[in-house]
Structure 1
Amino acid sequence: MKRFRALVGVSSERHDVSYVLRICAVAALGGILFGYDTSVISGAIGPIREHFHLSDAATGWAVSSVILGCIIGAFSSGWLAHTLGRRMALFICAILFSVQSFGAALAPDFLQFVLYRILGGLAVGIASAVSPMYMSEVSPKDMRGRALSMEQFAIVVGALLVYVVNYLIAARATAEWLETMGWRWMLGSEIIPCLIFCATIFLIPESPRWHMIRGREDHALRTLSRISNESHARSLMAEIRDSMTHHGGNGQSLAALLRDRRARWIIFIGAMVAGLQQFTGINIVVYYAPMLLSASSGSLQNALFQTIWIGVANLVGGMIGAWIVDRKGRRPLILWGSLGMTLGLLVSSVALYTQDTGLLALFGLLFYMVMFGLSWGPVAWILVSEIFPNRIRSAGMSLAVASNWVMNFVVAQGFPMLAGNRTLNEAFHGAFSMWLFALLCLGSMAFVLRYVPETKGVSLEKIEDTMLGNVSSSLDSATMPRERIIPLDHA
């Protein structure tokens, strides 16, 4: 066990690290389905486009329709997590994932395909907020970054799995079979991880902080004692109780949130971090990698094979990020990761602009994915999971994750039309979008470094002081009068 603790970088002996990682791993299955569901379309979109005879705009809608469901799911996640608990909200996700995997695979027309994809989006939106919320609430502060990195790690694993599945389905298939049946097998394969998630979700305990909010201190004590020991559990419960007493913990309406300028500022920061993750261009790679690589790879099968390596690069980056995030902090990873992502996009843009038919475009995307995997991939989810105080965590995370999906929708819907613009293609040969997202990477980095404080090692009960300290340094006190903090936990 000591060797295991040393491996994951945890020096404290008071926590049952293996238990925390086990229960976080089950919650992270929601992330696997998140990655699987959003990435499966990358291999299927070409055949789907031919099968349903889609225009550029309709192709964008086939991809981005799932994101409409994600936005709705993210907005509803705060209410579900607060009312039913984190664990039950995740079980609802598992059921929705299962239904949509069958429905989308069997859809007889484009309308029904879109409706089932929106249903799957509901599940993704809820899971993308509740899974990291649960992990942040069961993880000790000195390993919270590594535990929350499991969410991004799970998303990447889910994406990598479906890249492999898509390639195996398409490897020896004819174009005609892929157009009629192949894409259905790709979408239907999701049922396997769905059933695993359904079978394991009730093997984990409910969040102790949710039990505290609900006044079930005996339940909270059992879980916290299992995570560490009874003495430490009682000390942490006292901190949680004190936080709820001084700042409120039982929740009010969204109107209360809007009257609390300080809480509103924290939620604005969280929403910006979550939304800016999409402006780094990650999902033009996740959703459209085969389209980007098809010109230089020679065939759809070759493009799908190269996409597997993009998933591997993301996984490698995620492993590096998980290893160093609690050592180096959140801000340094954003700085160096953003610079590396910009460089990777510029390399790919050179390959596209010069119409290079070699591997330069792939190498640029691989480097981009490694740097995203160690920076914006895990750090954005870590930050939105830990910067919200207990009293506004459900509301804050639901609004922040909804912001992520709104920006995701803009990128996913807009990119096919941008990539299909004849004027831009004739002038830049597909490089324009790479230049655009390289610039947005730098802008996103600047925002985080200007407005987001370092949160490494800060307990969830102390996070509000850290964030409000950043408010005083970021905003003019003349326009930021001191106000009474209004209790809020859910919208």
Structure 2
Amino acid sequence: MNRKTFLLVITSVSALGGFLFGYDTGVINGAQFYLSKYFELDAAMKGWVVGSALLGCLVGAILAGPISIKMGRKNSLILSAILFTISAWGSGLPSFFPESVSLLVLFRIIGGLGIGIASMNAPMYIAEIAPPERRGNLVSYYQLAVVIGFFTVFLATYFIGNSNTEDQNIQFGWRHMFWTELIPSISFLFLLLLVPKSPRWLSLKGRYEEALAVLNKLHGPENATKEAEEIKASIAQELEKGGAKINYWGGTVLAIIVIGSVLSILQQFTGINAVLYYGADIFEKALGFGQEDVLKQQVLLAFINFIFTFVAMATIDKFGRKPLIYIGSVGMILGFLILAITLQRQTIGVWSLVGVLIFIGSFAMSMGPVVWVVLSEMFPNKIRSVAMSVAVAAQWGANYIVSQSFPMVTESSLNNNSFWNGSLPYYIFIAFITLIIVFTYKYIPETKGKSLEDLEKVWK
């Protein structure tokens, strides 16, 4: 196997963590439509069942930093695969379990732990093995995998949903939707045995010969030697400057972590997961589609998400990270504005759907992949595990806030008065997307084409 193929294979295997992230968070979209009726959930409980996994994601992301430092990126991903498998099996509530919302929530939280660990380690691992000129494209494989996971699970839930009557879906169809995740989670577990350890993690542990051997396989002897020396020099400089102990509360270090965390939070405050998690409810209640059309619309939504992720992958290393954020933010504002106006004026129809699809396409070519790329690049070697762990945890915390509050805001009397007519949440999201443009312009550096070691100098 030549080096390019080897690099692509291990990138693809690592990106399966993103596939399971997308699959696990997407399966609740189709399943919650039926399990909410099975358990007779109100708006608050529906938000809890959907959002509970996100609390697991938050805890998993917090733990991911120390786990990644101790076990390494590869072994952290293996742990996440085991958690995904347990969650997929248990979320379907096998018949010998006492059926309860609490038990379902427990298994959703276990899956969330796996997502939290994978969502930090997978893009970071890919960034640490990728050459600078291809890093944006290769890290984008992670977001592509997330999108494929969403698309695949929407197809799976559509097939299951349409193979049964509504009563059958309410009784057992939603269980089968959860169990379909066992196939990718077990595959991920075994494929991870093929990937090498991260050369930067090996270097941080003082295992320079092993790191050089991995770099040789990935980038060839000449580039490997140069990169190994840069990594070693970077680590030595950090040790000389501050010793083995890092002051995470120091001015520059804290500022970098805060900037990364705010960018992560703003990704969620675009409203992307409100649309992805509650797509079935939006299409049925807000947009007036019949139940038979709901899963079809979600497949269309996932398809647009999939196609526009390729736009990002093709352009991120050419145009840069910041231009994509600007273009995508304008598109997201336009999409939600169209949706909000049609809701407010009660002219719901094709244009409402067009607005949702413009939003999804714009997110998929910008804040979806770009945030993961920037987070995997922007943190110096010595603090990368902990800093990215904090930023990803902040993202999951924001995701939980959105997923828990969206159904409550949507069903509130304020949102359903004669002025807003169901449009209020989308105007709130528009305000946050506008903030993204300002924040990116002021605080986010352009990271295109720079080595991870060169990027450390940006903050000095």
TM-score category, normalised to shorter length? over 0.9
Q: Letter of the aligned partner of 1:75 in structure 2?
A: I
Number of the residue aligned with 1:8? none
- The answer as to whether partners of 1:384 and 1:397 remain within 8 angstroms in 2 is yes
Deviation of 1:252 after TM superposition, in Å, equals 5.8
Q: Letter of the aligned partner of 2:15 in structure 1?
A: A
Determine which of 157, 164, 167 is the counterpart of 2:158.
Answer: 167
Q: Which moved more, 1:267-276 or 1:347-356?
A: 347-356
Number of the residue aligned with 1:9? none
CA distance in 2, matches of 1:184, 1:244: 49
CA distance in 1, matches of 2:39, 2:74: 38
CA distance in 2, matches of 1:364, 1:453: 31
- Report percent identity of matched pairs: 37
Q: Letter of the aligned partner of 2:453 in structure 1?
A: E
Deviation of 1:188 after TM superposition, in Å, equals 1.1
Number of the residue aligned with 2:56? 69
Change (3 A) 1:394 1:252: farther
Per-residue CA distance 1:345-386 (angstroms, 9 max, x = gap): 111112222333422221111111111011000000001100
Q: Letter of the aligned partner of 1:422 in structure 2?
A: S
Q: Does 1:104 align with 2:91?
A: yes
- The answer as to whether partners of 1:29 and 1:154 remain within 8 angstroms in 2 is yes
CA distance in 2, matches of 1:288, 1:385: 29
- The answer as to whether partners of 1:105 and 1:185 remain within 8 angstroms in 2 is yes
CA distance in 1, matches of 2:87, 2:414: 38
SS at match of 1:257: coil
Deviation of 1:234 after TM superposition, in Å, equals 1.1
- The answer as to whether partners of 1:271 and 1:399 remain within 8 angstroms in 2 is yes
CA distance in 1, matches of 2:5, 2:455: 25
Q: Does 1:443 align with 2:431?
A: no
Number of the residue aligned with 2:114? 123
- The answer as to whether partners of 1:387 and 1:467 remain within 8 angstroms in 2 is no
Q: Letter of the aligned partner of 2:430 in structure 1?
A: A
CA distance in 1, matches of 2:283, 2:211: 50
Deviation of 1:289 after TM superposition, in Å, equals 0.9
CA distance in 2, matches of 1:286, 1:467: 35
- The answer as to whether partners of 1:104 and 1:187 remain within 8 angstroms in 2 is yes
SS at match of 2:20: helix
SS at match of 1:422: coil
Q: Does 1:35 align with 2:22?
A: yes
- The answer as to whether partners of 1:48 and 1:183 remain within 8 angstroms in 2 is yes
Instruction: Compute the TM-score of the two structures, normalised by the length of structure 1.
Output: 0.90
Alignment of 1:4-153 (within 5 A): 16-106=3-93, 108-153=99-144
Determine which of 460, 466, 470 is the counterpart of 2:458.
Answer: 466
CA distance in 1, matches of 2:236, 2:54: 38
Deviation of 1:292 after TM superposition, in Å, equals 0.6
Number of the residue aligned with 2:232? 241
CA distance in 2, matches of 1:151, 1:396: 19
Deviation of 1:305 after TM superposition, in Å, equals 0.8
Instruction: Compute the TM-score of the two structures, normalised by the length of structure 2.
Output: 0.96
Q: Which runs of 5+ in 1 are unaligned?
A: 2-14, 469-491
Per-residue CA distance 1:298-320 (angstroms, 9 max, x = gap): 33331111111111111111100
Per-residue CA distance 1:442-462 (angstroms, 9 max, x = gap): 112211111011110111111
Q: Which moved more, 1:298-307 or 1:399-408?
A: 298-307
Alignment of 1:273-288 (within 5 A): 273-288=263-278
Q: Does 1:292 align with 2:279?
A: no
CA distance in 2, matches of 1:253, 1:303: 54
Per-residue CA distance 1:235-287 (angstroms, 9 max, x = gap): 11111111011113999667x312x2111111111111111100111011110
Q: Does 1:362 align with 2:353?
A: yes
CA distance in 1, matches of 2:243, 2:201: 12
Number of the residue aligned with 1:6? none
Q: Letter of the aligned partner of 2:450 in structure 1?
A: V
SS at match of 2:407: helix
CA distance in 2, matches of 1:189, 1:467: 45
SS at match of 1:423: coil
- The answer as to whether partners of 1:293 and 1:361 remain within 8 angstroms in 2 is no
Deviation of 1:438 after TM superposition, in Å, equals 1.1
Per-residue CA distance 1:15-36 (angstroms, 9 max, x = gap): 9333222111000000000000
Deviation of 1:465 after TM superposition, in Å, equals 1.1
Deviation of 1:426 after TM superposition, in Å, equals 2.4
Per-residue CA distance 1:289-338 (angstroms, 9 max, x = gap): 11111133533331111111111111111100000000000010010100
Q: Which moved more, 1:214-223 or 1:62-71?
A: 214-223
- The answer as to whether partners of 1:297 and 1:303 remain within 8 angstroms in 2 is no
SS at match of 1:462: helix
CA distance in 2, matches of 1:298, 1:216: 58
Per-residue CA distance 1:152-204 (angstroms, 9 max, x = gap): 10000000101111111111422211111111111111101011101200111
Number of the residue aligned with 1:225? 216
CA distance in 2, matches of 1:27, 1:192: 16
Q: Letter of the aligned partner of 1:50 in structure 2?
A: K
CA distance in 2, matches of 1:248, 1:148: 28
Q: Which runs of 5+ in 2 are unaligned?
A: none
Q: Letter of the aligned partner of 2:68 in structure 1?
A: A
Per-residue CA distance 1:71-100 (angstroms, 9 max, x = gap): 000001011111111111000000000001
Q: Which moved more, 1:106-115 or 1:136-145?
A: 106-115
User: Please, what is the CA RMSD of the aligned residues?
Assistant: 1.6
Q: Letter of the aligned partner of 1:127 in structure 2?
A: A
CA distance in 2, matches of 1:47, 1:415: 19
SS at match of 1:461: helix
Q: Letter of the aligned partner of 1:417 in structure 2?
A: M
- The answer as to whether partners of 1:31 and 1:152 remain within 8 angstroms in 2 is yes
Deviation of 1:423 after TM superposition, in Å, equals 2.9
Number of the residue aligned with 2:422? 430
- The answer as to whether partners of 1:167 and 1:301 remain within 8 angstroms in 2 is no
CA distance in 2, matches of 1:466, 1:317: 30
Number of the residue aligned with 1:263? 253
Q: Letter of the aligned partner of 1:273 in structure 2?
A: L
